[in-house]
Each structure stands twice: as structure tokens, then as C-alpha cells.
Amino acid sequence: MAGREARNQGLWPIFQLVLLGTLGCVGLSLLFNYLLLFSALTSFGRGVVASIALPLLIGVPMLAVIGLKLRELRGLRNELNRSASYDRVTDTYHGDVFSSLVERRMKSRNPKSGLHGALLVVNAEHLNSIIQQHGFVWGNEALRLIAGTIRSSIRHDDFVGRIGTTEFAIFLHHATEQDAVDVGSRIRSEIAKVYFAPEGEKDILTVRVGGVAFDEATDFTAMHRAAEAQMSATNRKTDDVEVTLLRDLTFEESRMV
């Protein structure tokens, strides 16, 4: 009952708009034809003028308003779609969207070109201490800087997603183990160079990077677990980037986190 009342209340403004708009158009048409009676035009002339002028007077403003509303609606729809796909802070894909894209990319592989690529996991482990010392605003700023550096370090065909509070994942299309190591090392190096001074205190952003390369079909969950295991094996005090071929890992190693 309450739902029906709410629906009726939502339709009432539309009914009012249609009724008042129709009465307005009829009134304008009557007024225009009435004024034409005082002109020197013949009946045929008045009919021609009315048939041209009335559509212009009524149709042009109405179509202009409809066009503006459609443009506004299209902008709202695009904004809604983007907010559903992208993380608000980092402007990278949400975790579920990222995993779906990886699965789709692997299913749409070209048999002639083979299937190979890599998944990197980047953990902004320094973020928690930044939040504790300077608050969430500066923590979000650190995430934005890290995400921007990651995007500038990968190719157009690659994509990145935020899969955890402090964790990003990068899918490298048609990348070898060495390609993944090179990209991971570049990301670590470039992030360390980023100027970051929360509340005027200069700080160095640090991340840990690990990943897996693959040369056969697999699922995202297996790749993610293996990549996190490789990331956990990296040394915090060095610039190591651990990347290995997925099929070279044992079952137990692939389950490490």
C-alpha cells in the first residue's frame, strides 16, 4: 500500500506537467490565431503563417528542454557507471571489476598468439603508518599518488585495480617474467621518487611488489594467491621484485599469502 502511494505521488508531478503543458500549447495556439484575425492576410495566408510559426514557438523550446534533460541524464548515467566500476579515491578499477576483466581477457585470448601475461600485486605497506600519524586525508593522498604512478608505468593495454585497502593488482597483457620484473622494479623506483610531504613533513612512499607470469589458462584466484605469496617473499629493505612462472609453483606455494 505504501509503495503504491509513493508511486502515485511520483507520477503526480508528471501528470501536472503534461496537463499544464498541453493547456499552455492550446492557449498559445488560440491566442496566435486570434491575433492573426486582425492582420491583412487572407485565410490561406493566416493558415500558412500559423502552420509555420506555431511549431516553431512550441516545438523549438520543448525540444531544447528535452535535449538538455537527455544530456543531463546521459551524464548521470555515465557517472553512475563509472562509480560502479572505479574506486573513488584512486580512480582504478574496483576489485571485483578488475578480476572480471582479467577473466574476460583470458577467455578471449587468440589461440594463434598464445596465452601469456603476468599479474603483479603492489602493497602500499607504508600507508597504515601514514594514516596513524597524519590521518585518512593524507592516507588517501598517498593512495592517489601511488595509483597515478602505477598507471603511468604500464602500457595502454594493461590495467590496474584496487583489490584491498592498501593493495593494487596489475594485469600485464602478453608480458614475460622479465617484463613483469622490469615493470615492478620501475613502479617501486618511481613511487620512491614521488614528492610526498604530509603536513609539511617530507616522507618517502614505499611499496612491495610481487607477481606471477603465466603461459596457460588459469583463474584469477589462483594467480592472485600466487602473486601475494611472491610479494610476501620480497625483502622490505631491498628493491627485489619477486616474479615466477605460475606453473613452476607447487600447489602449497600457490596457496601462500
* C-alpha dist (Å) from residue 122 to 50, 132, 168, 228, 234: 70, 21, 5, 9, 11
What is the chain's pLDDT, residue by residue, as a tens digit (257 residues)?
555 665 666 677 878 888 888 888 888 888 888 887 777 778 888 788 888 888 888 888 888 888 888 888 888 787 777 778 899 999 999 999 999 999 888 777 655 555 678 999 999 988 989 999 999 999 999 999 999 999 999 999 899 999 999 999 999 988 888 999 999 999 999 999 999 999 888 888 989 999 999 877 678 888 889 888 888 887 654 557 778 777 655 434 433 33
Spatial distance between the Cα atoms of 199 and 118, rounded to a whole number of angstroms? 38
Give the pLDDT confidence score for residue 256 in this predicted structure: 38
Q: How wide is the angle at C-alpha 91 spanned by C-alphas 238 and 77, nearest 5°?
A: 165
- The residues, any chain, with a CB within 8 Å of residue 161's CB and separated by 6 or more, are 87, 92, 93, 94, 95, 97, 98, 99, 101, 168, 169
Give the pLDDT confidence score for residue 171 in this predicted structure: 94
Give the pLDDT confidence score for residue 150 in this predicted structure: 96
Give the pLDDT confidence score for residue 114 in this predicted structure: 58
Rg of the chain (C-alpha set): 30
Give the pLDDT confidence score for residue 231 in this predicted structure: 87
The answer to whether the CB of 181 falls within 8 A of the CB of 243 is yes
Give the pLDDT confidence score for residue 249 in this predicted structure: 54
DSSP state for residue 174 in the 8-state scheme: T
Give the pLDDT confidence score for residue 254 in this predicted structure: 39
Give the pLDDT confidence score for residue 5 in this predicted structure: 60
Give the pLDDT confidence score for residue 79 in this predicted structure: 75
Give the pLDDT confidence score for residue 89 in this predicted structure: 92
- CATH for 93-254, options being 3.20.20.10, 3.40.50.1370, 3.30.70.270, 3.30.465.10: 3.30.70.270
b/e burial code for range 27-42 (CB count within 10 A of at least 16 → b):
eeeeebeeebeeeeee
Domain residue spans in the chain?
2-85, 93-254
